[in-house]
A and B are shown apart, each in its own frame.
Chain A
Amino acid sequence: MSVPQRLEASDRVTLLMSFVPYLIDQGPVSIDRLAQHFSITPAQVLELVLLLAMSGVPGDDGYYQHQDLFDINWDLLEEQQIVELWQHVAVEATPRFSAREAAALLAGLQYISGIVPDSEKVIVENLVRKISLGASAAPENLLISPAPVPVDLEIMRSAVSSGNSVQFNYQNAFGIQAQRLVDPLRLDLVGESWYLRAWCHDRDALRTFRLDRISELSVSDSPFVTRLNAEDLGDELFEVSETDLRVRFSIEESALPLISAYKPVVISSLSQDSLEIEVAFSSLSSVPIFVAHIPGSITVLNPPAAIEAVQLWAKQALASYNA
């Protein structure tokens, strides 16, 4: 949100329409506050305010007359960078949501509703009702089922509010268990899977944990040790390190979106429908799981050790059926 965004025409028109009721309601507001409130830069605010101040309704002869234009307190703007609306025309209320805007919010809300405790689920119900009421047409038929949260988030919240770390038992993908003490920073929901991004006391580093591999979660007696917070984190769940194993695959082009979480690098086009890609893994044992993601669409090309690992994995899996 804090990254300055390039504004498209539709973004600007929406902002212009939204500035009007806000300025009418709030009275004089500084450029900086407008920027902060609407999550855009002060320069973008200024550009929009200047446009707003020149906007209006044409007379019958096609000329825009002063009394039919928006007007602002120009002195206040120039001297103190404060926006005060002196006159507005035609519109004064917040515009309604479009069917698609309402659907986007509703679907996003359903998707994340797992973070709302059961006792507060009424908030979600109220929001669904309000968003539908605020739309100018019936929201689209778009629905996302909630991704269930496998741990008690209240423990996480009370830890953060008291400034204490959490401890839990973590079992990694290979079944190895370890006790962890971490400062929880952010919860990431990717597709259906929840992850905890945290500062790990034992490793003295940022780590990502799958929530469905966490058990016996509790608030610890140790205070937070990191000064990082959620905004400092990037969207990459797992960092690629120099020591990572790089494996080349051939993959059907249509299957590429399905493995985007693995950040594949496209090396070349092998045929009309298939690509050569490279993916980094922390260990050889992660390769078969990746291949099994979309059986039949991915084949290991290189290194030979990875091909053998996949073959061994598949044979072991078959053994339990042939027994």
Chain B
Amino acid sequence: MARAENKVKKEDRLFSLILALVSSREGLTKNEILKTVRGYSDIYAYSGNTALDKMFERDKEEIRSMGVIIDTLELPEEEGQTHNIRYSISRSNYDFPEGLSFTSDELTLLNVAAAAWREASLSSDSRHALTKIRSLGVSANDPLIGVAPQIRTNERAFEAVEEALENELILTFNYLKPGQSKPQHRTASPLAVLSWGGLWYVLAYDFDAEAERTFLLKRIVSHPKRIPQKTHPRPAENYAQRLRDELEELTRANIAEIECVEGSDAHLRLSARFGSANSSTLQFGYSDLELLADELAMYGSQLRVISPPALREAVRSRFIHIANMHVGVN
């Protein structure tokens, strides 16, 4: 494999490319870039340019992912002649809006917000965003009490889904539907990712169903794979907000009633969450019966489901299942 041997470090090359594209008024053709910009030019003469070409394509992507938009310019009479495409970065796209600033209190809060990703996929993205805010000169205050948030995701699936979300990709994966024992193979393009009530949901266009479907991230049990070369362009919309509205509507429509053992952990925690009833009977809405059954089962004999009957049965069957899997050893 032809590989560009390069002594110039990658950050040097990327930064040089950004500077060259910002400063050029009419834009630069790919050939001009490869011939003159540091990191490309020093290997231009000695190597076949296929590897260099590929490197340039990857670099463009990487620069875009840092928030720097590269414009392409093609003269009408030169349409189709890719070697004549001119690349440039406009200052109006690059520059942070004039007058937009952050206070110390705001940065203090954003430091906490960014820290939430520290163990998760978007940690470098949130760190980069903070670096940019700090470049505006603002410093954070010392918070009165430290806050250490930690977003939890099913990392393997989250990263693939998030990348597909950003690039409108189509994924295939195995999905284990709640209440079923065998996973199904699905083909879908994510529209939104939402964490709601402690669970991650993915709204996606499902190609088998030919309709939008909601998936639970944790029930994507295989490593999602993208379908090469294919994308699923979609109209701009606040899909995440729409998904949340739908879940909230479901929650209003489905009501569960449970009875807690007075003073138990279940009683304390569930009444802290669903508004304090002084009685041991609690009523609250839910969006998905199987998910609620999973959660209620954890409290064991501390509570009893009164209604609906299907929820009662779902919780009961979990106990039967656990009991059967743990037959005493004698």
Contact = CB atoms under 8 A, between A and B. Distances in A.
Interface stretch (B47-55, B77-85, B143-151): B143-151
Nearest to B122: A104
A307 B326 contact: yes
Nearest to B327: A311
Interface in B237-292: 238-241, 243-244, 263-265, 268-269, 272-273
B323 A311 contact: yes
Residue among A16, A95, A186 with the highest chain B CB neighbour number at 10 A: A95
A1 interface: yes
B151 A316 contact: no
Nearest to A294: B294
B265 A173 contact: yes
Interface string A5-38: 0001111111111111110011000000000011
A310 B95 contact: no
A284 interface: no
B301 A230 contact: no
Interface string B205-240: 000000000000010011000000000000010111
Contact of B95 (A56, A93, A210, A319): A93
A288 B318 CA distance: 12
Residue among A57, A58, A150 with the highest chain B CB neighbour number at 10 A: A58
B298 A292 contact: yes
A12 B124 CA distance: 11
Interface stretch (A75-83, A216-224, A255-263, A275-283): A255-263
A145 B195 contact: yes
B147 A316 contact: no
Contact of B147 (A97, A161, A187, A258): A187
Interface residues of B, number: 124
A99 B65 CA distance: 8
A21 B294 CA distance: 52
A13 B12 CA distance: 8
Per DSSP, chain B at the interface is: helix
B4 interface: no
Nearest to A311: B326
B36 interface: yes
A140 B275 CA distance: 33
A141 B147 contact: no
A299 interface: yes
Given A101-B128, A316-B301, A189 B115 contact: no
B145 A317 contact: no
Contact of A174 (B110, B130, B265): B265
B328 interface: yes
Contacts of B301: 313, 316-317, 319-320
B134 A189 contact: no
Interface in A94-126: 94-105, 107-109, 111-112, 115-116, 123-124, 126
Nearest to B98: A93
B19 A51 contact: no
Contact of B148 (A131, A230, A307): A230
B155 interface: yes
Given A133-B97, A319-B301, A156 B14 contact: no
Contact of B129 (A19, A101, A299, A311): A101
A134 to B, nearest CB: 6
B149 A89 contact: no
A204 interface: no
B116 interface: yes
Nearest to B37: A58
A292 B322 contact: yes
B73 interface: no
B26 to A, nearest CB: 12
Contacts of B265: 171-175, 213
A99 B106 CA distance: 20
Interface in B79-133: 91, 93-97, 100, 102, 105-106, 109-117, 119, 122, 124-133
Contacts of A134: 96-97, 100, 132
Interface residues of A, number: 131
B23 A235 contact: no
B37 A26 contact: no
Contact of B131 (A14, A61, A289): A14
A87 to B, nearest CB: 13
A222 B133 CA distance: 40
Interface of B: 9-12, 14-16, 18-20, 22-23, 35-38, 41, 62-69, 91, 93-97, 100, 102, 105-106, 109-117, 119, 122, 124-137, 139, 144-156, 162, 165-166, 176, 191-198, 203, 218, 221-222, 236, 238-241, 243-244, 263-265, 268-269, 272-273, 294, 297-298, 300-301, 304, 312, 315-316, 318-323, 325-329
Interface of A: 1, 8-22, 25-26, 37-38, 51, 55-62, 64, 89-91, 93-105, 107-109, 111-112, 115-116, 123-124, 126-127, 130-131, 133-138, 140-145, 147-148, 150, 153, 156-157, 160-161, 171-175, 184-192, 210, 212-213, 215, 229-231, 233, 235, 254, 257-258, 260-261, 288-289, 291-296, 299-300, 304, 307-308, 310-311, 313-321
What are the 9 A-B residue pairs with the smallest beta carbon separation, nearest first? Answer: A230-B146, A108-B113, A192-B198, A98-B67, A18-B135, A143-B240, A141-B192, A93-B95, A12-B11
Given A103-B125, A289-B298, 15 more contacts: A55-B19, A95-B96, A97-B67, A100-B65, A108-B116, A108-B126, A130-B100, A134-B132, A141-B165, A141-B192, A141-B240, A156-B145, A184-B145, A254-B221, A315-B323
24 contacts: A10-B66, A13-B63, A14-B131, A58-B38, A90-B19, A96-B93, A101-B126, A101-B132, A105-B130, A108-B116, A112-B109, A127-B109, A130-B102, A133-B100, A136-B93, A140-B193, A145-B194, A160-B144, A189-B148, A190-B152, A191-B150, A260-B152, A317-B297, A318-B320
